[in-house]
A and B are shown apart, each in its own frame.
Chain A
Amino acid sequence: MICAKEISFSIGTFELKRLSIDIAEGEYFILLGPPGSGKTIFLECLCGLKRIKFGQIRIDGCDVTNLEPRRRGIGYVPQDYALFPHLSVEQNITFGPRVHGYADANINETANLLGIKHLLSRSIDGLSGGEKQRVALARALVLKPKILLLDEPVCALDEVTRQKICSQLSDIQRRLGLTTVHVSHNLEEAFSVADRAAILHDGLLQQAGTLDELLRKPKSEFVARFMRCENIFCAEVTGRGTRDSQTSVKLGDIELEIAGRHSGTLMLMIRPEDVLVRHGSAYNGKGGNLIPTTLVRSRDCGGYVRVELDGPIKLVAHLTHAAFAELQETHQPDIVAELDLKNIHVLPQ
């Protein structure tokens, strides 16, 4: 559906560097990255608000690189929505149809879909963040675009409204079969809406794939850290493991075994939720990847407890509240972290 091929664009000192992304028809694609990574610029290039220096943009097989924004069939919801302050809610929604000369445009269907029919006579000034978001969405959807581009559509909303709007966005996208590109820096948002995602950093595409791929098989340290993996270590290969298909590595003062055959220096990643933690009494100094540690700090993060462990290496683990309560029952500081082979991921160098 959308094929961006080697897009280059520069503004001041910032540069989008040969960005290539393919987005399938009907897909909900989320573009992730820290602020200033070029997400919004990429979106503006897609809808023709910025002229790209090199590369090609194809929509539905047609080259739209030099096509005006109004001819691309794209609905665009910018950050902070940019609702026209001199027009009422209804006039904002009918703006597109009026420009196209559809004087008697029926906006009721769109207004009902988004649950904003009661807002139509209101002015923009008095709307809440969530209401503005839905009006902006209605304004973009009323023209029945093939593609919907959303620039941080829920970043200014509170947590509850954000979740509500995200599930609404997901429902609408599926119901209308819209190809949607959503820009965000928030992982929770990505998990609640996206089929696939890409991570941008400093104008460069770091990785694109399913969220599980980004989470479990990051292709760089940046992607791993962006996906909130805190356990990233540099390790030296010392030889073969206990099986042929395994490799033994030295990580600080300890030896670990990892899956696969490797050589030289490796960058290892273990997701915090994959670190298993149990009482020190269970540690006999032998066996798989068992690491003696002590609990340094813990923080309740709502859905899980984040614990920092100190030992031969510093680890961060995410535990369920039940697992953490069990750990605390004994009042012993010594605990053992177990790292399963299959959960130790080697980052490509």
Chain B
Amino acid sequence: MRTAGNIPVRGWRDRIFSAAAFFFVSVFIVFVLGLILTDVFYVDSKAVVTVLTSRFILHALWMSIWTSFMTTFIAILFAVPMGYALSRFRFPGQILAEAVVDLPIVFPPLVAGLTLLVFFSQTAIGRWIQDDLGLEFVFQPKGIVLCQFVAAASFAIRSAKTAFDDVDRRYENVALTLGCTQWSSFRRVSLPLARNGIIAGGILTWARAFGLFGPLMIFVGSFRGRTEVLSTTIYLEQSVGNLEVALAIALLLIFVALIAVTAIRLVGGSALVKL
């Protein structure tokens, strides 16, 4: 068993405590790996070939990847200024504003899809956006990104706020005395110091967006070759009785997620440690 940092001399009670903690770690990891292995053993080679050669499934994979990354990019674009503002400025109604930011984390993702559908089909503003501005979201690929954004952006904003909270204001103060404006102290000091937390929030956002299912089914449906993403494909395949294919797609989803999380970990350094 490896432990990090400087460890004190430990007695037998401490060893029992460490062993108990590691027991829970082991149980969880074994359980998750067991589930994945069950899928692996259940899936036959025919299903794998079907998944890897199906034009529609590969399209769904591509849709899942680009929409989730686009959502993450937009979410971070919002999260950085919002996280900084919520962390550094005090304003009337701040508690309410923070509660609203956290709401999408709390309510079931399905609600996001329903609400968006009602907004764009039943309200004047929604119809104006769709019909007059020509920005169509309902049952359109653009809707996937919007739906994922609503359901997942809060993770990025919350993480960014926490990351900026962790940056000591004295760094910014010193930067101000060294010639910085507030913008340049943000750019040169706060942003680099909050980087890991922002990346961690990005990973959570991406994970939520990549695996999103319920609200997408409601808001954009699952049209083959158009709005189908991997999570909805799994549902469709298992609903028509192709359980092996559904599980093979699930394994593909897990594989892509593993690659993405590992790549981000390598790029983002210690970001995942904070997750």
Contacts and interface: CB of A to CB of B under 8 A. Distances in A.
Interface of A: 44, 47-49, 68-70, 72, 74-76, 78-80, 82, 84-86, 95-96, 99-100, 139-140, 143
26 contacts: A44-B173, A47-B177, A48-B177, A49-B173, A49-B176, A68-B176, A69-B173, A69-B176, A70-B176, A70-B180, A76-B177, A78-B170, A78-B173, A80-B170, A84-B171, A84-B193, A85-B193, A95-B175, A95-B178, A99-B178, A99-B179, A99-B184, A99-B188, A139-B174, A139-B178, A140-B177
Interface residues of B, number: 17
Contacts of A82: 168, 170-171, 173-174
Nearest to B176: A69
B188 A95 contact: yes
A84 B178 CA distance: 12
A78 B174 contact: yes
B179 A70 contact: yes
B192 interface: yes
B174 A76 contact: yes
A75 B177 contact: yes
Given A85-B193, A86-B193, A99-B184, A70 B178 contact: yes
Q: What is the interface of chain B mostly: helix, strand, loop, or mixed?
A: helix
A80 B193 CA distance: 17
A139 B174 CA distance: 10
B215 to A, nearest CB: 38
Contacts of B168: 82
Contacts of A44: 173
Contacts of B176: 48-49, 68-70
B167 to A, nearest CB: 10
A72 B176 CA distance: 10
Contacts of B181: 68, 70
A47 B189 CA distance: 19
A252 to B, nearest CB: 51
Contact of B177 (A74, A86, A100): A74
Interface string B73-105: 000000000000000000000000000000000
Would you list the 8 A-B pairs with minimal beta carbon distance, nearest first? A96-B178, A99-B179, A82-B170, A76-B177, A69-B176, A70-B179, A86-B192, A69-B177
Nearest to A136: B174
Nearest to B189: A84
A143 B176 CA distance: 13
A132 to B, nearest CB: 13
A76 B173 CA distance: 9
A44 B192 CA distance: 24
B203 to A, nearest CB: 20
Given A44-B173, A69-B176, A70-B177, 14 more contacts: A47-B177, A48-B176, A69-B173, A76-B174, A76-B177, A78-B173, A78-B174, A82-B168, A84-B175, A86-B193, A95-B175, A99-B178, A139-B178, A143-B178
Contacts of B188: 95, 99
Contacts of A143: 178-179
A265 B180 CA distance: 57
Contacts of A95: 175, 178, 188
A343 B193 CA distance: 57
Contacts of B177: 47-49, 69-70, 72, 74-76, 140
Nearest to A79: B170
B89 to A, nearest CB: 15
Nearest to A71: B179
Contacts of A140: 177-178
A100 B192 CA distance: 19
Interface string B188-226: 110011000000000000000000000000000000000
A66 B189 CA distance: 24
A75 B181 CA distance: 16
Contacts of B175: 84, 95, 99
A74 B188 CA distance: 20
Nearest to B185: A99
A142 to B, nearest CB: 9
Nearest to A145: B177
Nearest to A87: B192
Nearest to A100: B179
A242 B149 CA distance: 92
Interface in B16-58: none
A1 B135 CA distance: 63
Contacts of A86: 192-193
A143 B179 CA distance: 9
Residue among B170, B173, B175, B177 facing the most chain A CB atoms (10 A cut-off): B177
A89 B180 CA distance: 19
A285 B143 CA distance: 102
B94 to A, nearest CB: 17
Residue among B178, B180, B181, B184 facing the most chain A CB atoms (10 A cut-off): B178
Contacts of A76: 173-174, 177
A200 B138 CA distance: 66
